[in-house]
Amino acid sequence: MSSQSGPYYDLPVARIVEETHDARSIILSVPEELKATFSYTAGQFLTFGVPLEGHQWVRCYSLASCPDTESEHKVTVKRVEDGRISNWFNDSVTPGQTLHVMKPAGHFCLQARETPLVFFSGGSGITPVISILKSALATTQRSMHLVYGNRDQDSIIFGAELRALEAEYPGRLKLVHRLDDTDGFLDLPSARSVVASAPGADFYVCGPGPFMDVVEEALAAESVPDERIFIERFVLPELEAPAPGAAAASTGEADSAQVYLDGGVHTVAVQPEETILAACHRAGIDAPCACTEGYCGACMARVKAGEVEMLLNDGGLDDDQVEEGWVLTCQTRLKSAGVEIEYPDAE
- CATH topology for the 252-342 domain: Ubiquitin-like (UB roll) (3.10.20)
CATH class of 4-101: mainly beta
**Under 8 Å between Cβ of 9 and 346:** no
Give me the CATH code for the 117-232 domain, please. 3.40.50.80
Instruction: Write down the pLDDT at residue 346.
Output: 42
Work out the widest C-alpha separation in the chain, in whole angstroms: 64
List, by residue range, all CATH 3.40.50.80 domains of the chain.
Answer: 117-232
List, by residue range, all CATH 2.40.30.10 domains of the chain.
Answer: 4-101
List, by residue range, all CATH 3.10.20.30 domains of the chain.
Answer: 252-342
**Under 8 Å between Cβ of 297 and 283:** no
CA dihedral angle for residue 68, residue 127, residue 148, residue 83, rounded to 10 degrees? 180
Instruction: Write down the pLDDT at residue 291.
Output: 76
CA pair distance 196, 202, nearest whole angstrom: 12
The series of mean pLDDT values per 10 residues for the chain, 347 residues long, is: 73 97 97 95 93 84 96 95 90 96 90 95 96 98 97 97 96 96 96 97 96 97 97 62 42 78 91 92 85 81 94 82 91 94 74
CA pair distance 12, 71, nearest whole angstrom: 15
CA pair distance 333, 325, nearest whole angstrom: 14
Instruction: Please state whether beta strands 98-101 and 8-20 pair in parallel, antiparallel, or not at all (unpaired).
Output: antiparallel
Residue 106 φ/ψ region, left for φ over 0, alpha for ψ in the -120 to 50 degree band, beta for the rest: left
Instruction: Write down the pLDDT at residue 289.
Output: 82
